Amino acid sequence: MNTTTRGWINGMIGVAIFSGSLPATRLAVLGLDPLFVTAARAALAGLLALAALAFTRSPRPGRADLRTLLLVAFGVVLGFPLFSALALRTITSAHSLVFIGLLPLATAIFGTWLGGERPSRAFWAFAILGAASVAGFALSRDGSGSLGADALMMVAIVTCGYGYAEGGRLSRRLGGWQVICWVLVLSLPLSLPLSVVLRPAVWTGIPASAWGGLAYVAVFSMLVGFIFWYRGLALGGIAAVGQLQLLQPFMGLMLAAWLLGEPVTPVMLAVTAFVVACVAGAKYTATAPALDETGREIAPAGYFTPDESEPLASGEVGRCPNP
């Protein structure tokens, strides 16, 4: 098996893992408090991240990186897990997956803002169209959601996009998955005590599916998925393998229907397809890539890279799947 094929396989595994995040969160919050789920998933992932960093002897971030790491933690350790868990108490995971299609755009918007770039008008047109389609879906009241839960999902997407964009500043020096690991480790002093304080008062009666959902989002969504994803990008090429992320909402909808028996309506599929098309359009109409002295493309502040030697093209959108 050649390197490119292995890259595609690793990338597809990573996307498949991330596609199960919201269905697994839905399972978890059906039996556990969303606050406990948020703290526990971060604590479990943080302990595994600590072991991974120790095993690989990854370099420590400097003091100057602390502020950025804390901002990343706000977005991807607290913001997205908490707000999505709160939303999934009252909406199906299939309904919530429509919003996930906006995450690449949110990441790109924050990335260009932090990088001081000026995207083209076409980029903003696609971004507005994608956001408007999701807003219309939320307001249509298709029977699978509520306005409050939809608002929580939008907050989750915005905070996650911001967290990814901030994390992109460190990825060239620390590496993509290493940034996530350091963020989780720095969150341990808060996530571990909160896990103890927020633990269920009564353990009997909690379904095994809830514990399984929690284990999945802690181990796979917040850690293992990133390892496969960034390995796929490094082996198969960022521009090629990165396109697999466009499949994530559709794979998530299939998992929601198969594992949870949730209805997937034609409206959900249509809106998701339109949002994915907007993401693809935004990718091809973004600002022209900046070049370094060797003629290689330089990634803006908003994108994680698999390693320092393969920077992302500045026009590439959506390199950060949801946690």
Other CB atoms within 10 Å distance of the CB of residue 296: 13
Query: What's the rounded Cα separation, in Å, for the pair 273 and 258?
Result: 19
Q: What is the pLDDT of residue 267?
A: 84
Backbone φ/ψ region at 120: left (φ over 0), alpha (ψ -120 to 50), beta = beta
**Would you state the structure tokens that stand for residue 92, as one six-digit string?**
């199906």
The DSSP annotation for 234-292 comes to: HHH-HHHHGGGGGGHHHHHHHHHHHHS-----HHHHHHHHHHHHHHHHHHHTSPPPEE-
> What's this model's pTM, rounded to 2 decimal places?
0.80
**Would you state the structure tokens that stand for residue 22, as one six-digit string?**
């919201």
Instruction: Tell me the backbone φ, ψ of residue 101, rounded to 5 degrees.
Output: -60, -20
196 Cβ neighbours under 8 A, 6+ residues apart: none
Report the alpha-carbon angle 177-221-136, nearest 5.
110
Q: Where are the alpha helices (DSSP H) in 20-102?
A: 21-29, 34-56, 66-72, 80-87, 93-100
Other CB atoms within 10 Å distance of the CB of residue 188: 17
Q: Where are the domains of the chain?
A: 3-196+207-298
Q: How far is CA 305 from each of CA 28, 144, 301, 318, 320, rounded to the nearest angstrom?
A: 31, 36, 10, 12, 9
Q: What is the pLDDT of residue 317?
A: 42
Contact indicator for 224, 17 with CB cutoff of 8 Å: yes
Q: What is the pLDDT of residue 192?
A: 96
> What is the residue-level pLDDT of the chain in tens, covering all 323 positions?
788 788 889 888 988 999 999 999 999 999 999 999 999 999 999 999 999 999 998 888 888 899 999 999 999 999 999 999 999 998 889 888 888 878 877 877 887 787 776 777 888 888 888 888 887 877 775 555 678 898 999 999 999 888 888 887 777 677 778 888 999 999 999 999 999 999 998 888 899 999 999 999 999 999 898 888 878 877 776 656 666 777 888 888 889 988 888 888 888 888 888 888 887 787 677 654 544 445 454 444 444 444 444 444 444 444 455 56
Instruction: Tell me the backbone φ, ψ of residue 31, rounded to 5 degrees.
Output: -125, -10
Residue with tokens 């807003």: 135
